């Protein structure tokens, strides 16, 4: 999970101490946290001791087991709440939720077996993409179906996991809104950023997005609608496709979002601090932006380009301190100031 330390740095900046619960040994944030518990999500005693040591709990990873969250939530407030996680953990639940709010989504259908996949393909057409309902991240657990003949192979690749078939959306641009909702129900949003993905991985975000103001407003309103429907507390990232027939919601993430990293250089209150403010009951920043920014992810061996970026005076560098370089792994990002 990229860039988690920014959260603890933001919390420290506001005078808070962070206690991190993390199953993996040597969490990347170990050097910036006040305390770290290394224990599996199934360790009830460790969860209880963790909860007892803190005032409020938040998370940076949406696939935490429900049993662990239930246990934590009995002892301390978890923000954003259970409902946001339930919805975002399951692509089918998420699509149903969005559709229920009257928001446009890609055409979709639940797929439990081959027969359902055949029926779904008949309705949605090809190309389409078959995804596991749960545990998706950066394009993993997905199989593209270019023609009905590929259906069986795609289904086999998911080895029996409950799935969803999604139709492709013909879009001219991808934008995202980073928004926040406070404990008092106040909502604040940053200006939408324009994203470019490659191979399911975000390459860059540019703010402001080159879209009409009315479309940007529509995206912000949709994000606010999602936040209110979930009685959400914290920062959310909502991705949209810009299509000839208007905005289509791609998905949302119940956490700070890679496409919001530009706020570190563009705003007095960045998305990391905004999240801590919401979780801790502070007034929210209003999302105003004092610079135009382009955020570029450093993916895999691109981390070797840091000297190039460091030589540019308009560029802020953020490395995550990850030990191993792997293809597709986000090693850091840079924020380039386009106009101050």
Q: Give the binding site for a copy of itself (CB under 8 A).
A: 5, 9, 12-15, 17, 31-34, 265, 268-269, 273, 277, 282-283, 285-291, 306-307, 310-311, 313-319, 321, 332, 335-337, 339-340
Task: Retrieve residue 326's tokens.
Answer: 């792997």
DSSP string, 26-48: S-GGGGT-SEEEE--TT-HHHHH
**Contact, 22 vs 38, CB < 8 A?**
yes
To a copy of itself, the closest distance from the beta carbon of 89 in angstroms equals: 30
To a copy of itself, the closest distance from the beta carbon of 205 in angstroms equals: 16
140 vs 308, beta carbon nearer a copy of itself: 308
How far apart (Å, rounded) are the C-alpha atoms in residues 199 and 139? 7
Angle of helix 44-52 relative to helix 66-75, nearest 10 degrees, comes to: 40
**120 in helix, strand or coil?**
helix
13 vs 326, beta carbon nearer a copy of itself: 13
Query: CA of 178: how far to CAs of 144, 193, 227, 312, in Å?
Result: 28, 9, 11, 27
58 vs 89, beta carbon nearer a copy of itself: 58
Planar angle of CA 273, 279, 285, nearest 5 degrees = 40
- Locate tokens 């990391």: which residue? 272
To a copy of itself, the closest distance from the beta carbon of 293 in angstroms equals: 9
9 vs 229, beta carbon nearer a copy of itself: 9
114 vs 321, beta carbon nearer a copy of itself: 321
To a copy of itself, the closest distance from the beta carbon of 232 in angstroms equals: 20
123 vs 288, beta carbon nearer a copy of itself: 288
80 vs 332, beta carbon nearer a copy of itself: 332
To a copy of itself, the closest distance from the beta carbon of 199 in angstroms equals: 25
What does residue 76 show for φ and ψ, rounded to 5 degrees? -145, 155
To a copy of itself, the closest distance from the beta carbon of 333 in angstroms equals: 10
To a copy of itself, the closest distance from the beta carbon of 306 in angstroms equals: 8
To a copy of itself, the closest distance from the beta carbon of 162 in angstroms equals: 40
**Contact, 166 vs 108, CB < 8 A?**
yes
To a copy of itself, the closest distance from the beta carbon of 59 in angstroms equals: 20
**Contact, 46 vs 37, CB < 8 A?**
yes
167 vs 208, beta carbon nearer a copy of itself: 208
What distance separates the 2 farthest-apart alpha carbons in the chain?
58
| E-strand stretches of the chain | 19-22, 35-38, 108-111, 128-132, 142-145, 163-167, 173-181, 187-189, 193-198, 201-207, 234-243, 246-253, 292-299, 315-319, 330-339
Nearest CA to 184 among 243, 242, 221, 233?
233
80 vs 287, beta carbon nearer a copy of itself: 287
Count other Cβ atoms within 10 Å, centred on residue 31. 11
What does residue 216 show for φ and ψ, rounded to 5 degrees? -60, -45
């Amino acid at each position: 999970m990229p860039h988690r330390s920014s959260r603890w740095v933001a919390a420290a900046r506001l005078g808070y101490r962070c206690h991190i619960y993390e199953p993996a040994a040597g969490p990347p944030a170990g050097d910036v946290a006040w305390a770290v518990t290394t224990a599996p999500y199934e360790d009830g005693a460790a969860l209880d001791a963790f909860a007892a040591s803190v005032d409020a709990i938040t998370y940076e990873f949406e696939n935490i087991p429900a049993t662990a969250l239930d246990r934590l939530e009995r002892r301390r407030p978890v923000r954003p709440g259970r409902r946001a996680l339930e919805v975002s953990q399951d692509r089918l639940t998420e699509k149903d939720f969005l559709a229920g709010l009257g928001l446009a989504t890609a055409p979709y259908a639940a797929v439990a077996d081959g027969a359902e996949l055949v029926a779904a393909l008949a309705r949605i057409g090809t190309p389409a993409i078959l995804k596991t309902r749960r545990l998706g991240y950066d394009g993993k657990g997905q199989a593209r179906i270019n023609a009905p003949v590929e259906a069986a192979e795609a289904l086999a690749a998911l080895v029996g996991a409950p799935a969803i078939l999604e139709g492709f959306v013909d879009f001219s641009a991808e934008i995202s809104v980073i928004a926040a909702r406070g404990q008092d129900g106040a909502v604040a949003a940053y200006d939408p950023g324009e994203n470019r993905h490659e191979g399911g991985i975000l390459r860059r975000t540019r703010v402001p997005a080159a879209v009409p103001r009315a479309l940007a407003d529509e995206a912000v309103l949709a994000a606010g609608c999602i936040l209110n429907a979930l009685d959400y507390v914290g920062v959310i990232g909502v991705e949209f496709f810009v299509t000839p027939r208007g905005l289509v919601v791609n998905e949302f993430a119940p956490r700070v979002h890679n496409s919001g990293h530009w706020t570190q250089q563009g705003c007095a209150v960045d998305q990391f601090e905004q999240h801590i403010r919401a979780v801790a009951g502070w007034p929210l920043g209003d999302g105003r932006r004092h610079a135009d920014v382009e955020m570029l992810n450093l993916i895999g061996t691109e981390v070797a380009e840091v000297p190039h970026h460091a030589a540019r005076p308009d560029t802020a560098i953020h490395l995550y301190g990850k030990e191993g370089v792997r293809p597709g792994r986000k090693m850091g990002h840079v924020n380039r100031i386009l106009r101050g």
